[in-house]
A = this chain, B = another copy of it.
Amino acid sequence: MKNRIKITRIMLNMNQKELAKQVGVTRQTIGLIEKGEYNPTLKLCMAIAKALDKTLDELFWEVDDE
Complex contact A42–B55 (CB within 8 A): no
Q: List 23 A-B contacts (CB under 8 A).
A: A1-B42, A39-B41, A39-B42, A39-B43, A40-B41, A40-B42, A41-B41, A41-B42, A42-B42, A42-B45, A42-B60, A43-B64, A45-B45, A46-B60, A46-B61, A55-B56, A55-B57, A55-B61, A56-B56, A56-B57, A56-B60, A56-B61, A57-B57
Kindly list 12 other residue pairs between chains A and B, CB separation below 8 angstroms, not including A42-B60, A55-B61, A57-B57: A39-B41, A39-B42, A39-B43, A41-B41, A41-B42, A42-B42, A43-B64, A46-B60, A46-B64, A56-B56, A56-B60, A56-B61
